[in-house]
Amino acid sequence: MMAKQKTIKSEFSIVGVGLHTGEKVTLTVKPAADNHGFKFKRVDIEGQPIINADADLVVDTSRGTTLEKNGVRVYTTEHVLAALAGLEIDNALMELDGPEMPIMDGSAYPFVQLILEVGIEEQEADKDYFVVTENLTYEDLERHTEMLAVPQDEFRLTVMVDYNSPLLGTQHAHMYHVGEFVEEISKCRTFVFLREIEFLAKNGLIKGGDLDNAIIIADQILPQEKLDEIADLLGKPHIKVEAAGILNNLTLHFQNEPARHKLLDIVGDLALVGKPIKGHILAARPGHKGNVDFARLIKQEIKKQQKQGPQFDLTKDPIYDINDIEKLLPHRYPFLLIDKIIEVDETSIVGVKNITFNEPQFTGHFPGNPVMPGVLQIEAMAQVGGIFALSTVPDPENYMTYFMKIDGVKFKRKVIPGDTLVFQLELLTPIRRGIVHMQGKGYVNGQLAVEAELMAQIVKEKKEELTEAEA
């Protein structure tokens, strides 16, 4: 069965300070309807529009991901989005009374805990995945960032970080499937090098930074006067650093916690694609800019796929060939219109009709300008649906399918000899009392040619026994 969309069962609130703005904020996360997606709302600004979690709305990636619409911004969105996406939630509304998400401990785990506490609810709509069908590559030469997406039947991430730091070294992290997110990734905290803090502070960042919301890595020993100057910039007490190491003496959750946090950031930033992903993402030296650029690249690929339509592998061995189809359907030449079935599962089916000039309808429709009649396109689609319906019963030879309703028929382009018409039908509702309700689409070269909504009933045919005389 198709995976269903999810939201949270009830709303929750969390209070904290923004890492970069330093402002106290209350974040309330609310359930949302099917196909709502992730959205933000600044309740402290009257009449403020909803801000979609959309890569195209990102205006800044300086140590965090910032969204803006109509001049109103929401800062540091990546951790709460990672918590939602990492728990495979699709729909939520996030209301906040300030400009920035609360940083909490610098990880996604505080949000994960609250989500699990209120619970997750399955919804009616199917998940709409972006499926990686061919390699997608991205490179930022200035930042030495490389990202690659390759086909994979689930969401998988592999990350390598290298900051030319003798203390941190080169680190790798992976998430083989999203089920590992809570325990292996969500607790990993953001980090910063001590040598970077002066620059960040002077540029108006990390105003809410503290020893309890980030891992501070001291890989270089700075003079005490420099440390005092940094502390004064941030309004923090003076500290002493006598040896290289983790400044705040934290116990790391994992030896490679910095690399795992970079992986966490990718989960959050790729939520800006607007769809869950089926694919393996490999990232070298990632950052928010690269993550967001890659999310935009994926959005472009989604638009390209939508324009082209789904792609089918017509070279693979059929599930049902013409001989199998004749055993399932009562139709025969010239009314048997399906050549093969190439895909079938619990909720969908894909069938193929090759259009040839020697078919009888082209004698009169239209001479000199052969076009496959629309009614025959619908009949061919119905035959694919009939094969699906009969494949759900144990003895299909004893059943027939009778169509009860055809709605929403649209023809998008001519179908002519030489075309291959590929029909894809999906169940709209579970089969009950033999009623099969499906949405069907027919494609030529990836372009939508015909669509319709079909309803049929599976009926068991009574076979009368022969009398002695007939025998």
Separation in Å, CA 244 to CA 99, 229, 249, 283, 428? 35, 19, 11, 28, 61
**pLDDT reported for residue 115:** 98
Sorted by sequence, the CB contacts under 8 Å of residue 433 that are 6+ apart come out as: none
Give the span between the Cα atoms of 396 and 364, in whole angstroms: 35
> Given 172, 331, 365, 437, which residue is catalytic?
365
Q: Per-residue pLDDT tens for 67-87?
A: 999 999 999 999 999 999 999
Q: Is 288 a catalytic residue?
A: yes
**pLDDT reported for residue 197:** 67
Give the span between the Cα atoms of 465 and 29, in whole angstroms: 66
Beta-sheet pairing, 120-126 with 245-246: unpaired
Which tokens hold the place of 8? 């949270």
Residue 320 has a CB neighbour count (10 Å cut-off) of 21
* Residue 239 DSSP label: -
Q: Per-residue pLDDT tens for 194-235?
A: 666 666 666 666 565 665 666 776 666 666 666 666 556 556
Give the span between the Cα atoms of 144 and 142, in whole angstroms: 6
**pLDDT reported for residue 200:** 64
Q: Is 253 a catalytic residue?
A: no
- Complete edge-to-edge strand list for the sheet that includes strand 340-344: 340-344, 348-354, 420-427, 435-444, 447-460, 399-411
**pLDDT reported for residue 468:** 44
**pLDDT reported for residue 466:** 40
In 227-298, the DSSP E strands lie at 245-246, 277-284
Give the span between the Cα atoms of 456 and 373, in whole angstroms: 22
Which residue numbers belong to the known binding site for Zn(2+)?
Answer: 79, 261, 265
Give the span between the Cα atoms of 382 and 283, in whole angstroms: 45
> Given 238, 288, 331, 437, which residue is catalytic?
288
**pLDDT reported for residue 20:** 72
The answer to whether the beta carbons of residues 440 and 424 sit under 8 Å apart is: yes
Which residues of the chain fall short of a pLDDT of 50? Answer: 242-244, 465-471
Which tokens hold the place of 463? 């076979």
- Entry pTM: 0.71
Cα 349 off chain centre by: 22
Which residue numbers belong to the known binding site?
Answer: 79, 261, 265
Map out the domains of the chain with their CATH numbers.
4-189+255-307 (3.30.230.20), 191-252 (no CATH), 322-460 (3.10.129.10)
Of the candidates 400, 402, 422, 415, the one whose C-alpha atom is nearest the C-alpha of residue 341 is: 422
* Residue 89 DSSP label: -
Of the candidates 78, 114, 256, 109, the one whose C-alpha atom is nearest the C-alpha of residue 181 is: 109
Sorted by sequence, the CB contacts under 8 Å of residue 368 that are 6+ apart come out as: none
Cα 315 off chain centre by: 28
**pLDDT reported for residue 206:** 58
Of the candidates 130, 254, 122, the one whose C-alpha atom is nearest the C-alpha of residue 180 is: 254
Give the span between the Cα atoms of 15 and 296, in whole angstroms: 31
* Residue 288 DSSP label: H
Separation in Å, CA 315 to CA 125, 318, 336, 340? 32, 9, 22, 11
Helices (H) and strands (E) in the chain, counts: 8, 25
